[in-house]
Structure 1
Amino acid sequence: MATAGKNAAFGIFTVSAGVFSLATMDAMAKWLGEFYPVTQLIFFRNLFALPAIFVLAMSTGGIRRLWPERLWLHLLRGILALGAVGFFFFALRTMPLASAWTIAFSGPLMVTALTPVLLGERVGVLRWISVLVGFGGVLIVLQPGSTVFNWTVLLPLGTAFSESLLVLLARRYAESEDAASMVASTVVFPLIITGFAMPEVWVHPAPVHWPAFFTLGTLGGSALIFLTLAYRMVEAPILAPFDYTALIWSVLWGWLIWRDWPDPATWIGAGVIVASGLFILYRETVRRPSGQGPIEHETSPVEP
């Protein structure tokens, strides 16, 4: 029992560290986005995250674990990861950090809504109600039809949708595909794709910005290690609530750097979205048969 408690405490610490790394990485991306194209940000984000992939591989059996069984699946996951990060980084060019994170928190709602279609699993009435309530929270944040609405606020929804497909693919092929290769595909393929675009979009970094690019990728790689380690040790229902600490860090960085402060609609919508996501997680936990094992969870490559 004591060991389980220590594992849970360590898991909570590592998942919180991973979420902090993600939120800080996104703040760095928002700042660098004032000077460089998004494609270049994604390229360096993945380039400097490569060491983390090798660390994960070596900790789970060696580099050979990175070789995929289904190349098409990993390519698809790479494209989805590229979309998830790209949508989010584009959104950060015009949106406050906290608002973008709040909308992207709709990812778990999309996972639940898409589960019957893509996995053939039944979703109960209470979870469907939670999904609808959660998307009501998204509408509160988006404020469609108002004078503050701009189409760019839809970009984090693209991130959430891409992330939901990544999670569902991980669940679908969890038994036949190695976890390390599944994570690696979300870094390697976006790196290759954006690498081809570099000659067209390249803006030579100022000397002062090179450390920022390195930090961007290092934070992304650190998040991968922290989150993978956390969810490998402790079940998702214990850790998932701490994913939402990203909202704390995004509000903090937004205020410190850009003096952005969420408006009342964002606070209310965030509360509704987070509450709906946590209730869905609770329902997924209580409906599992005893001994079925942990709920599959994949952390975001963004992440959100």
Structure 2
Amino acid sequence: MNTAPSNAHGSHVQGMLLMCVGVACLSANDAIAKALTDGYSPLQILFLRNVIALPFTIGIALLMGGRAALRSHRPAAHLLRGALWVGAALMFFTSFIYLPLAEATALIFVAPFFITVISALFLGEDVGWRRWMAVLVGFLGVLLIIRPGGAAFQVISLLPVATALVYALLMLSARWVDKRESVWTLLVYLTGAGALLSALIVPFVWVPVRAGDLWLFAGIAIFGTAGMTMMTQAFRLAPAVVVAPLDYTGLLWATLFGWLIWRESLDLITVFGATIIIASGVVTILREHRTAS
């Protein structure tokens, strides 16, 4: 009896479940970060998140890839990726101070469109007209959310968009890493480089950590590491076209957390703009899958 199709189906289901739980964990990570911005600098939050998470990421890398997962062939590439990671995280955490959690989350979903633009304009990749249309429609969704020139416009709304741009550069920079290195190596060095680089500046903004907040810092490290690990494993178990669209469930979690904790709500125009961004992103993922096939 041929069990290959059933095995593939089971693997896909596992990948989808891991992706959904991983996205939920990262959403919890973001909600905790927003809560912590009331008393701490985004830089201090990022530093403690990375320092606490580093032992967990090393343990996961050893478990999944052995001691070879801790060996880097291009440390400079990881240091550069760490700088991009610190920049993106700082801008995203800062936006939490001023914006509803769901609005900031919706805007960061334009990262795939930036990846398309950068790949076409600077890396010489062939991008068809359908993907260009998806990019234009996606940015229309961004304009609906930030509403430049309108009474509701806030300059701070550009921070998540800038975060998405730097995050796109971070994703593309994975190409500079030696092909012999696994995703677990990338996870360890990204966390380590983030801890190292943020440590250089954090003394200037450091405030004593309240004992009652220690569990929040532990939570942001655990949820963030667990989320990244599960999402990474999801892509290993199932095709990107199956699991990648589930990343957008993060907007549902961000909306739920924002309402439960801060009683935040989104107006209809913002919801419409977020819907356009998500729909365009799913179309982009499907087009990339068809092109690869």
Q: TM-score range by the shorter chain?
A: over 0.9
* Aligned counterpart for 2:238 among listed residues 234, 238, 250: 234
Residue 247 of structure 1 corresponds to: 251
* Aligned counterpart for 1:67 among listed residues 65, 71, 78: 71
Asked if 1:105 corresponds to 2:101, the answer is no
**2-structure distance, mates of 1:173, 1:211:** 34
Residue 60 of structure 2 corresponds to: 56
Asked if 1:34 corresponds to 2:38, the answer is yes
Residue 197 of structure 2 corresponds to: 193
**2-structure distance, mates of 1:86, 1:199:** 16
Question: Which stretches of structure 1, 4 residues or longer, exceed 4 Å deviation after superposition?
Answer: 171-174
**1-structure distance, mates of 2:150, 2:168:** 28
Give SS of 2:274's match: helix
**1-structure distance, mates of 2:92, 2:38:** 14
**2-structure distance, mates of 1:19, 1:106:** 16
Say if 2:18 and 2:230, in contact at 8 Å, map to a contact too: yes
- Higher mean displacement: 263-272 or 176-185: 176-185
Q: How does 1:1-304 map to 2 (within 5 A)?
A: 1-171=5-175, 173=177, 175-289=179-293
1:48 to 1:125, Cα distance in 2 relative to 1, 3 A? same
Query: How far off its partner does 1:81 sit?
Result: 0.7
CA deviations over 1:9-33 (Å, ceiling 9, x no partner): 1111111111001111111111110
Say if 2:21 and 2:230, in contact at 8 Å, map to a contact too: yes
Query: How far off its partner does 1:176 sit?
Result: 4.6
1:102 to 1:213, Cα distance in 2 relative to 1, 3 A? same
1:81 to 1:191, Cα distance in 2 relative to 1, 3 A? same
AA at the equivalent of 1:156 = P
AA at the equivalent of 1:216 = I
Say if 1:109 and 1:277, in contact at 8 Å, map to a contact too: yes
Query: How far off its partner does 1:6 sit?
Result: 1.0
Normalised by the length of structure 2, the TM-score is 0.94
AA at the equivalent of 1:184 = V
1:228 to 1:41, Cα distance in 2 relative to 1, 3 A? same
**2-structure distance, mates of 1:176, 1:120:** 24
Could you tell me the percent identity over the aligned residues? 36
1:87 to 1:219, Cα distance in 2 relative to 1, 3 A? same
**2-structure distance, mates of 1:177, 1:131:** 31
- Higher mean displacement: 117-126 or 20-29: 117-126
Say if 2:101 and 2:255, in contact at 8 Å, map to a contact too: yes
**2-structure distance, mates of 1:118, 1:174:** 21
Normalised by the length of structure 1, the TM-score is 0.91
- Higher mean displacement: 46-55 or 173-182: 173-182
Residue 295 of structure 1 corresponds to: none
AA at the equivalent of 1:204 = P
**2-structure distance, mates of 1:128, 1:74:** 31
Query: How far off its partner does 1:202 sit?
Result: 1.4
1:66 to 1:215, Cα distance in 2 relative to 1, 3 A? same
Query: How far off its partner does 1:141 sit?
Result: 0.4
AA at the equivalent of 1:25 = N
Residue 297 of structure 1 corresponds to: none
Bigger helix share:
2
Give SS of 2:152's match: coil
Give structure 2 stretches of 5+ with no counterpart: none
Say if 1:65 and 1:180, in contact at 8 Å, map to a contact too: yes
Say if 1:15 and 1:243, in contact at 8 Å, map to a contact too: yes
Query: How far off its partner does 1:173 sit?
Result: 4.4
Query: How far off its partner does 1:59 sit?
Result: 3.2
AA at the equivalent of 2:258 = G
